[in-house]
């Protein structure tokens, strides 16, 4: 099995109908090439994998676990395929196994890049491409190529969602001129259509087309897929070698290409990133735009009421699903709605009479806390299960004590949630919230004078900039900040995000790009917090049950603890580019343009 870094040079054609290209496998000659061996056949299974947060795709890479009769290998391919008849891209290969935890693969440069971007946790399968490969070596002088005819099936959720046939010719040794001549000959065949996209790209398109038939959790995962994977033009691209050779702090700027530090204006970056549209299927499955309905001429009470009404409706809509418990995302969405409602009270502070809001806010806090207790345990359990699934079967039972503990805690938290939703207190909250929103101006705080700033147009810019200043203040301590300080930065970033969300419809066109960058920073900091919490809870269990756990359980939970510690360290190393995308001068210039629209 060949390993290491190389530049893949090939030409590819889609075959119009099955069997239309079979003749090339047995032809006595094709242009300057003649056969250099028999026709070989092999069944190949390619599982394309990524981290749960799409770190590889965001960085511009595709990771493929290929299983053949010779074993399993990991192939990491840069997605910046060159144009033209001959396509070039960098590829790093190395040995692997069937497991999904990169740390358990044999050491290789490919594994190092995957771990630098994805950390120690298990990667997850995106889709599988199965193919019957029929290959034959061809030679022309000192140039050697491999012609392969692939019968391909795209598989997602154990169902075949697409099938096609593709002809590829890859340069193995020698001069590209001879390969170009062969490509020119093949291009004259009406049964062959030149293609530049990869099998993965076609597979992604098939997944998007099949979205309505997939389970809800898979639909959600693919809705969160980055534009780099769905077909938009990448904002910037690195080679696989640059990721392998850079220092750790700079290698993992998966969340953004850091166009800000490169000197591009965010609006220019957005224009470049969107110059190629996402596929129609991708557009169809994405949720529609937010419709808070806030306009610049709204008074603060009017704007606040719109935000509260929007998220109150969303909370009520998700309640049935949260009660049923069949889909964790229903509870997650309900929690998000309650958090947005709580945030609205702060963002629009002073818009209402305190006497009209105090009781409602207290009840809302209780509801949000109950939802949060369940959701936090969902996140812990999902992360532990993903880690466990990447282990060998004989190692998985060692995690049972920790998994059982968290499941019991979740069951208890869920009982408290259902009791709260069934309580008279919750029913009263819903009635009072409805009445409050219907009260309109009667609940609004009095405006001191007609000239007092009281409209969105008057106040939004200063609110947003104050939140930005609170985030930027961490610039002085960020290089040596501990996890607690990073959590405080996460909270400050959250308030900036809420301001950009609530006032977003009144801001300039840069606001969507700004919100993406702020959300990426908050999410990155959130991953650090989640990993740190998991570390502490795993350590607590090891200490509390030191005399009860078996050696297998102690080792398994200890290994999980160390993986979370490494994840915290990795995320901290990778924070620089995500932070600079918000802290840089281009972000501030774009924020100025956005708020100037008021």
Instruction: Tell me, yes or no, whether 26 and 173 share the same domain.
Output: yes
In a domain, residue 195? The reply is: yes
In a domain, residue 262? The reply is: no
In a domain, residue 586? The reply is: yes
In a domain, residue 420? The reply is: yes
User: Do 121 and 136 meet the contact criterion of CB atoms below 8 Å apart?
Assistant: no
In a domain, residue 283? The reply is: no
Instruction: Tell me, yes or no, whether 433 and 481 share the same domain.
Output: no
Among the candidates 203, 223, 243, a domain finishes at 223
pLDDT for 329-372, tens place per residue?
Answer: 999 999 999 999 999 988 888 778 777 788 899 999 999 999 99
Share of the chain above pLDDT 90, in %: 52
Instruction: Tell me, yes or no, whether 160 and 183 share the same domain.
Output: yes
What CA–CA distance (Å, rounded) separates 298 from 67? Answer: 60
Instruction: Tell me, yes or no, whether 187 and 43 share the same domain.
Output: yes
Number of domains observed in the structure of the chain:
3
Name the pLDDT band for 267 (thresholds 50, 70, 90). very low
Look up the CATH number of the domain holding residue 596: 1.40.20.10
According to DSSP, the residues that pair with 346 across neighbouring strands are none
Given this model, what pLDDT does residue 431 score? 92
For tokens 């924070």, name the residue: 575
Instruction: Tell me, yes or no, whether 475 and 403 share the same domain.
Output: no
End-to-end CA separation in angstroms for the chain: 61
What CA–CA distance (Å, rounded) separates 420 from 410? Answer: 15
Look up the CATH number of the domain holding residue 136: 2.40.320.10
Q: Which residues contact 95 (CB under 8 A, 6 or more apart)?
A: 1, 3, 71, 72, 73, 74, 105, 106, 108
What CA–CA distance (Å, rounded) separates 28 from 39? Answer: 12
Q: Which residues contact 323 (CB under 8 A, 6 or more apart)?
A: 418, 421
Q: What is the mean pLDDT of the chain?
A: 84
Instruction: Tell me, yes or no, whether 338 and 427 share the same domain.
Output: yes
pLDDT for 499-521, tens place per residue?
Answer: 999 999 999 888 888 999 999 99
In a domain, residue 277? The reply is: no
Instruction: Tell me, yes or no, whether 309 and 403 share the same domain.
Output: yes
Instruction: Tell me, yes or no, whether 120 and 89 share the same domain.
Output: yes
11-25, 195-209, 533-547 — most confident range: 533-547
Instruction: Tell me, yes or no, whether 598 and 489 share the same domain.
Output: yes
SS3 240: helix
What CA–CA distance (Å, rounded) separates 227 from 274? Answer: 9
Instruction: Tell me, yes or no, whether 327 and 476 share the same domain.
Output: no
User: Do 105 and 94 meet the contact criterion of CB atoms below 8 Å apart?
Assistant: yes
What CA–CA distance (Å, rounded) separates 467 from 456? Answer: 16
Report field, pTM of the whole predicted structure over 0.75: no
Tell whether the torsion through CA atoms of 212, 217, 218 and 220 is positive or negative. Answer: positive
Q: What angle in degrees, to the nearest 10, is found between the helix axes of 511-544 and 483-502?
A: 150
Name the pLDDT band for 249 (thresholds 50, 70, 90). very low
Indicate the length of the chain as a whole number.
Answer: 598
Among the candidates 194, 223, 252, a domain finishes at 223
Instruction: Tell me, yes or no, whether 375 and 427 share the same domain.
Output: yes
Among the candidates 162, 192, 223, a domain finishes at 223
In a domain, residue 197? The reply is: yes
Instruction: Tell me, yes or no, whether 174 and 62 share the same domain.
Output: yes
In a domain, residue 587? The reply is: yes
Environment class of residue 255 by beta-carbon count within 10 Å: exposed (0-12), middle (13-18) or buried (19+)?
A: buried
For tokens 């090939």, name the residue: 10
Backbone angles phi, psi at 336, to 5 degrees: -55, -45
Range of the domain at 473: 455-598
Given this model, what pLDDT does residue 83 score? 56
Q: Which long-range contacts (CB under 8 A, 24 or more apart) does 416-424 make?
A: 416/370, 416/373, 417/322, 417/370, 417/371, 417/373, 417/374, 418/323, 420/366, 420/367, 420/370, 421/319, 421/322, 421/323, 421/367, 421/370
Q: What angle in degrees, to the nearest 10, is found between the helix axes of 354-389 and 511-544?
A: 70
């Amino acid at each position: 099995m060949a390993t290491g870094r190389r530049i893949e040079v090939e030409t590819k054609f889609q075959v119009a109908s099955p069997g239309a290209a079979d003749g090339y496998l047995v032809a006595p000659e094709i242009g300057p090439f003649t056969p250099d061996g028999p026709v070989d056949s092999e069944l190949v299974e390619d599982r394309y994998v990524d981290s749960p947060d799409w770190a590889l795709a965001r960085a511009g890479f595709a990771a493929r676990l290929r299983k053949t009769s010779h074993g399993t290998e990991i192939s990491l391919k840069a997605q910046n395929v060159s144009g033209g008849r001959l396509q070039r891209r960098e590829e790093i290969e190395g040995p692997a196994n069937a497991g999904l935890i990169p740390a358990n693969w044999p050491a290789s440069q490919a594994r190092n890049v995957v771990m630098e971007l994805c950390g120690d946790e298990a990667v997850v399968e995106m889709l599988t491409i199965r193919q019957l490969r029929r290959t034959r070596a061809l030679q022309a002088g000192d140039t050697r190529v491999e012609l392969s005819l692939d019968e391909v099936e795209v598989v997602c959720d154990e169902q075949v969602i697409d099938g096609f046939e593709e002809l590829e010719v890859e340069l193995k040794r020698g001069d590209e001129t001879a390969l170009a001549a062969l490509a020119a000959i093949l291009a004259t065949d009406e049964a062959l259509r030149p293609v530049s996209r990869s099998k993965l790209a076609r597979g992604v398109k098939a997944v998007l087309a099949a979205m309505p038939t997939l389970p809800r959790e898979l639909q959600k995962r693919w809705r969160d897929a980055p534009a780099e994977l769905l077909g938009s033009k990448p904002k910037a691209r690195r080679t696989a070698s640059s990721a392998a050779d850079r220092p750790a702090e700079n290698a993992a700027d998966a969340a953004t290409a850091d166009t800000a530090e490169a000197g591009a204006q965010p609006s220019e970056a957005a224009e470049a990133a969107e110059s190629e549209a996402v596929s129609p299927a991708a557009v169809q499955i994405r949720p529609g735009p937010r419709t808070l309905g806030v306009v610049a001429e709204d008074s603060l009470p009017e704007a606040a009421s719109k935000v509260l009404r929007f998220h109150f409706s969303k909370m009520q809509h998700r309640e049935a699903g949260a009660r049923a418990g069949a889909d964790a995302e229903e509870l997650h969405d309900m929690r998000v709605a309650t958090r947005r409602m709580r945030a609205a009270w702060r963002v629009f502070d002073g818009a209402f009479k305190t006497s009209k809001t105090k009781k409602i806010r207290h009840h809302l806090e209780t509801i949000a806390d109950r939802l949060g207790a369940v959701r936090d345990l969902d996140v812990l359990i999902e992360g532990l299960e993903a880690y466990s699934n990447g282990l060998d079967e004989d190692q998985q039972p060692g995690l049972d004590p920790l998994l059982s503990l968290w499941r019991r805690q979740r069951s208890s938290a869920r009982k408290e949630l259902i009791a709260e939703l069934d309580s008279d207190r919750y029913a009263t909250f819903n009635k009072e919230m409805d009445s409050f929103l219907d009260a309109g101006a009667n609940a609004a705080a009095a405006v001191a004078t007609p000239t007092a700033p009281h409209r969105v147009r008057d106040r939004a810019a200063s609110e947003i900039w104050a939140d930005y200043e609170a985030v930027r203040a961490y610039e002085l301590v960020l290089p040596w900040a501990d996890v607690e300080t990073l959590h405080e930065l996460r909270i400050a970033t959250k308030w900036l995000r809420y301001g950009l969300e609530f006032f977003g419809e009144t801001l300039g066109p840069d606001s969507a790009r700004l919100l993406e960058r702020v959300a990426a920073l908050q999410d990155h900091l959130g991953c650090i917090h989640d990993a740190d919490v998991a570390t502490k809870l795993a350590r607590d269990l090891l200490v509390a049950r030191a005399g009860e756990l078996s050696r297998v359980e102690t080792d398994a939970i200890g290994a999980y603890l160390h993986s979370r510690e490494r994840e915290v360290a990795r995320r901290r190393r990778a924070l620089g580019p995500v932070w600079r995308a918000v802290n840089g001068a281009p972000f501030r210039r774009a924020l100025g343009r956005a708020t100037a629209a008021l």
